[in-house]
Amino acid sequence: MKKLLGVALAGAFSLAASQAHAAGELYFYNWTDYTAPDLITKFEKETGIKVTVDTYDSNETLLAKLKSGATGYDLAVPSQNFVTIMVAENLLEEVDVSKMENFKHVAKAFRFPEWDPKQMFSSPYQMGTTSYALRTDAGVGDCSSLKEFFEPNEKASGSVGVFKTPEEVANMGHIYLGQEFCTEKTEDLKALQALLQKQKEHVKVFSSEGTMDRLGSGVTTISNAWNGDAMKQRLAGQKVKYCFPKEGVVGWYDSLVIPKGAKNVENAKTFMNWLMKPENMAIQSDFAKYANPIEGSGKHMSKDMATSPEVSVPTVPVKFGRSCGPKYVKAIDKIWTKLLQ
Ligand code: N2P
């Protein structure tokens, strides 16, 4: 009997082991500093699926990767305007997110968004704003106007950090200049180019990674920033302030999508569904310091999220990036290539 039990147990054990193996893998391609390590550990433990995370620095880099063909990735995280482009270019698998069990936790206002009206391709990740942050001890401004970033004072000269790719910077420029997003007017584009070229005289670095570490350590005094990254620096005790200038900030809503041709579509869907559970999404928001549209996730988060000045937008306009026409995209590419020369 004892022996029999032993054999049965051994059998059960090897079955469990092979199930864990069969659960397989998930290749997750995400922005730098945007995947909570605890989230991945918990997911692996609960599902047996092994996750590998690779990172990128911008929507532009992600789009270029997906366009280059088979990427080997099962999940990626574009912002709303890039979901539009990826759907139009047939770069995504259809997943029918509204049929998933945990879709019920998505706040009504965020269901079936304009960029994915049937919720066929994308499930929620995080949302936030793009602006600039500054060192409060550097005399470079008080966060009142985008002028501080685009036309910095002499104290900021030589220590400005700007993102490496144009989309969000151009949109901030449009806001500062009072222009429409996606403008194709020659005079608008000329004015934007002049503004960026002038700003360049004060720029220390064009980079979208490590921006807040450089600000925290004083390599830069004023820098492009996402609100969550800036909040992390403040909580770490640095004299860093995220700015909501009077002209406004750029808004974004990032989603999980499955690149066309992904090898582990079922595992990617499992992750999408799993992340819509309030207690799981809370882990991600707590780590990255961004808001999310999952109802009930707030009560699982640390207090600093509820009271954070970086997350609650004061009364300044928030303008969400849109996908623009080819004429605009070409013009911005040209402006940016020249800028980085
Ligand atoms: C965090 C990445 C923020 C994503 N480093 C902005 N869409």
Q: How far apart are CA 33 and CA 291, in angstroms?
A: 15
Q: Is 167 in the pocket of ligand 1 (CB under 6 A)?
A: no
Is the C-beta atom of 32 inside 6 A of ligand 1? yes
Q: Which atom of ligand 1 is nearest to the CA of 31?
A: 2
Q: What is the pLDDT of residue 304?
A: 87
Q: Do residues 41 and 184 share a domain?
A: no
Among residues 319, 240, 329, 268, which one has the least CA distance to residue 26?
268
| Distance of alpha carbon 232 from alpha carbon 289, whole angstroms | 7
Residue 54 sits in the same domain as residue 202: no
Which residue among 29, 30, 34 is best mutated to probe the pocket of ligand 1, counting the most ligand atoms within 8 A of its Cβ? 34
CATH number for 149:
3.40.190.10
Mean pLDDT, the chain cut into blocks of 10 residues (341 residues total)? 42 43 86 97 97 97 93 96 96 97 97 97 98 97 98 96 97 98 98 98 97 95 97 94 97 98 97 98 97 96 89 91 95 97 93
Q: How many domains does the chain have?
A: 2
**Ligand 1 within 6 A of 247 CB?**
no
The answer to whether residues 188 and 262 belong to one domain is: no
Measured CA to CA, the distance from residue 34 to residue 30 in angstroms comes to 7
CA of 29 to the centre of ligand 1 (A): 13
- 313 C-alpha to center of ligand 1: Å? 17
The rounded Å distance from CA 31 to ligand 1 centre is 6
Residues 43 and 181 in one domain: no
Same domain, 222 and 317: yes
Query: Does 229 sit in the ligand 1 pocket, CB within 6 Å?
Result: yes
Which pLDDT score is estimated for 22?
57
Q: Which domain holds residue 289?
A: 2-127+252-306
178 and 325 both lie in a single domain? yes
Judgement on whether residues 284 and 325 belong to the same structural domain of the protein: no
Q: State the pLDDT at residue 10.
A: 44
Are 89 and 177 in the same domain? no
CA distance 146 to 131: 9
Q: Which atom of ligand 1 is nearest to the CA of 252?
A: 7
**Closest residue by CA, ligand 1 atom 4:** 31
The finding on whether 168 has its CB within 6 A of some atom of ligand 1 is no
Does residue 28 have its Cβ closer than 6 Å to ligand 1? no
pLDDT at 69: 87
Q: Are residues 187 and 322 in the same domain?
A: yes
Domain shared by 210 and 318, yes or no: yes
Residues 136 and 15 in one domain: no
pTM flag (> 0.85): yes
In this structure, which residue's CA is closest to atom 6 in ligand 1?
A: 226
pLDDT value at residue 2? 41
Pairwise CA distance, residues 128 & 318, whole Å? 10
Same domain, 71 and 139: no
For the CA of 34, the closest atom of ligand 1 is 1
Contacts of residue 185, defined as CB under 8 A and 6 or more positions apart, other chains included, come to 179
